[in-house]
């Protein structure tokens, strides 16, 4: 039997609402296996809501969310996380009062060896090894984001959802982090990355999807979108 090559994540006509107010008006996107898809758009475009739908935090009011070919309507966020859908949220989502090491140990819930998790994290981010006994809340923004990413990777994700990785970071650090994202993608992990500052992610993406006001307005290869991004962002 040939292996299943259906997209690891596929949204078809997804609508989502907070109460009675709809914020996603029929979103279509697909993340093929082993690819990086950049979801771009200005503030309030619905990018984070899309991530919430993909990770099971928010149920769509219409349309289908397929993960690994299965409609996962009704799946809880912890079911998806245990299977291998990992979300690195906006604002990093680390425990500021725990040390780097303890933060990593918290991610060994899937019966992974804590030493192995640490070794992988420190190999990927040598800076974290130097800070292993330091409280996460006292790390710099870039180091906190490295820790958030390392925590996500500790779960051995098959599908990684990254929300605003570059938020509040210096351009050099952003470049460094996206270098790691490219490396993760090269290892075969499928990635949906949400970014407001598009140019930082276009170099690593295989496809870019632009959202404005809860709708997908453009989809295509990053090269074709790069020049007209500001026009597309602003609905021109």
Partner 1 sequence: MGGTGSRSREPDHVDPTMRRGMETNQQRVEEFRREIAELRLRTPDDAAERWWLIAGLVLPALGLAAIVLGWWGASGSAYPSEQLPYVISGGLLGVGLIVAGGALFVRYSLTRYLRFWLVRLIHEERSQVDRQLEALERIEALLAASAQPRAGADRS
From the CB of residue 12, how many other CB atoms can be counted at a distance below 10 Å? 16
Choices 61-69, 111-119, 146-154, 162-170; region in contact with partner 1 by CB under 8 A: 61-69
Q: Find tokens 């690819």 and name the residue.
A: 35
- Picking from 188, 185, 142, the residue whose alpha carbon sits closest to that of residue 165 is 142
- Pick from 7, 142, 152, 222 the residue near partner 1 by CB under 8 A: 222
Q: Does the footprint of partner 1 cover residue 77 (CB under 8 A)? A: no
Q: Does the footprint of partner 1 cover residue 212 (CB under 8 A)? A: yes
- Picking from 185, 192, 95, 108, the residue whose alpha carbon sits closest to that of residue 144 is 95
Q: Does the footprint of partner 1 cover residue 228 (CB under 8 A)? A: no
CB contact at 8 A, 188 and 34: yes
Q: Does the footprint of partner 1 cover residue 199 (CB under 8 A)? A: no
* Sheet of strand 70-71: strand arrangement: 21-31, 9-18, 62-67, 70-71
From the CB of residue 213, how many other CB atoms can be counted at a distance below 10 Å? 14
- Pick from 19, 111, 133, 227 the residue near partner 1 by CB under 8 A: 19
Q: Does the footprint of partner 1 cover residue 141 (CB under 8 A)? A: no
Choices 15-23, 122-130, 132-140, 160-168; region in contact with partner 1 by CB under 8 A: 15-23
CB contact at 8 A, 39 and 50: yes
- Least separation in angstroms between CB 18 and partner 1: 4
Q: How many residues at the interface with partner 1, by CB under 8 A?
A: 55
Looking at the Cβ atoms of 136 and 174, the one nearer to partner 1 is: 174
CA distance linking residue 210 with residue 14, whole number of Å? 15
CB contact at 8 A, 138 and 101: no
- Least separation in angstroms between CB 81 and partner 1: 11
* Strand pairing report for 36-40 and 62-67: unpaired
- Pick from 7, 35, 103, 211 the residue near partner 1 by CB under 8 A: 35
Residues near partner 1 (CB under 8 A): 3-4, 8, 18-19, 21, 23, 33-36, 42-46, 49, 59, 61, 67-70, 72-75, 79, 82-84, 156, 158-159, 175, 178-179, 182-183, 185-190, 203-206, 212-213, 222, 234-236
């Amino acid at each position: 039997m040939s292996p299943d090559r259906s997209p690891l994540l596929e949204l078809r006509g997804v609508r989502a609402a907070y109460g009675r107010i709809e914020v996603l008006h029929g979103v279509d996107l697909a993340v093929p296996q082993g690819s990086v898809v950049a979801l771009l758009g200005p503030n309030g475009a619905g990018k984070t809501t899309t991530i919430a739908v993909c990770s099971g935090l928010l149920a769509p009011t219409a349309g289908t969310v397929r993960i690994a070919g299965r409609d996962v309507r009704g799946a809880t966020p912890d079911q998806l996380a245990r299977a291998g859908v990992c979300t690195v949220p906006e604002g990093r989502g680390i425990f500021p009062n725990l040390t780097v090491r303890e933060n990593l140990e918290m991610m060994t819930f899937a019966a992974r060896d804590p030493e192995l998790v640490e070794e992988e994290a420190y190999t990927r981010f040598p800076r974290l090894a130097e800070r292993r006994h330091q409280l996460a809340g006292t790390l710099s923004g870039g180091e906190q984001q490295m820790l958030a990413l390392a925590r996500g990777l500790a779960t051995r994700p098959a599908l990684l959802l990254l929300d605003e990785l570059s938020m509040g970071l210096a351009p050099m650090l952003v470049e460094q982090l996206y270098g790691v994202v490219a490396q993760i993608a090269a290892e075969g992990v499928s990635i949906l990355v949400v970014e407001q500052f598009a140019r930082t992610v276009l170099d690593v993406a295989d496809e870019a999807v632009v959202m404005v006001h809860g709708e997908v307005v453009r989809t295509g290869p990053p090269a074709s979108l790069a020049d007209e991004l500001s026009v597309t962002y602003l609905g021109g």
